[in-house]
Structure 1
Amino acid sequence: MSEFDEEASRFGAGSAQNASADGASGGGWQAPQAPFIAFHRRELDLILRVYGHRVASGEWRDYAIDHLKDRAVFSIFRRASEMPLFRVEKVPRNARRQGAYAVVGAGGTILKRGADLAQVLKVFDKKRHLSVV
């Protein structure tokens, strides 16, 4: 028995040798799991609506969704072999400061950030230019 196991048994924690294969021990202490960060159905609906319009116009062709430790990312590509043109990021730890949602350009510049995803996605709205004829 190692020095750690002796210390753990003195303080009531189960030893590493007694833990089951899936990591759960009978009555021992378990580390709290970090929350899983993902886009919810309504968030994906808003993002995919904008994405669908741009695919229909031929501007975008592919996307990827990543669930990282601290954020969820929806990446938008012109071609699958390229770097993403845009990334829509959800970072919950920024929710109280700058807003949980951000649209990031290809160079890493933040194009728009906020707490309301619908408002943040308005950065993709096409500008109508008026011209004098």
Structure 2
Amino acid sequence: MSKIVRLVEYRRGAPHVHFSRSEMNALLSLYSRRVMRGEWRDYAIDQHDGTARFAVFRSSFERPAFIITKQLKGAPRTASLIPPDVQFTVMAGRETLSQSTSLIEALAVFDRPGLAASLRMGGTS
């Protein structure tokens, strides 16, 4: 039995948000540097409810050490030639470390000296 689906209703779902190729290059570059230092061991990528997530783990058996998210800011624009406004957030546990409209600016939080030591003292995992 066939089901008739109106495309107008089908397309009204949550907007698909994903990391672009250049954003993935920046994320994987940061990840590889941290793996070489022995700080990170695993990562996961998720896309759900209009949010893309890149989570990094110190061990495969733990909660994510950090989660980098990309989500739309405000309502999506109707014109296809105008890129949507997005916001990047870096979180450690429930603590927001950085927010920006640029991934590079959001990832600058990892360049801060003593970030890992301060997070270990705070006990966020």
Confirm or deny a common fold (TM above 0.5): yes
Structure 1: unaligned runs, 5 residues or longer: 1-18, 129-133
Matches within 5 A, 1:98-117: 100-106=87-93, 108-117=94-103
Matches within 5 A, 1:1-133: 20=2, 23=3, 25=4, 29-30=6-7, 31-33=9-11, 34=13, 35-93=15-73, 100-106=87-93, 108-127=94-113
Structure 2: unaligned runs, 5 residues or longer: 75-83, 115-125
- Count residues in correspondence: 102
Q: Give the Cα separation in 2 of the matches to 1:127 and 1:85.
A: 17
Q: Give the Cα separation in 2 of the matches to 1:69 and 1:56.
A: 33
The structure number with the bigger radius of gyration is 1
Quote how far apart the aligned CAs of 1:126 are.
4.6
Deviation string for 1:44-80 (max 9, x for gaps)?
Answer: 1111111110000000000000001120000000001
2:48 maps to a residue whose letter is: L
Structure with more contact order per residue of length (Cα contacts < 8 Å, sep ≥ 6): 2
In structure 2, the CA distance between the partners of 1:57 and 1:126, relative to structure 1 (3 Å rule), is farther
Moved runs in structure 1, 4+ residues, more than 2 A?
32-35, 93-96
Percent identical pairs in the alignment equals 32
Quote how far apart the aligned CAs of 1:36 are.
1.7
Q: Give the Cα separation in 1 of the matches to 2:29 and 2:45.
A: 15
> Does 63-72 or 28-37 show the bigger shift?
28-37
Q: How high is the TM-score relative to the length of structure 2? A: 0.73
**SS at structure 2 position matched to 1:84:** coil
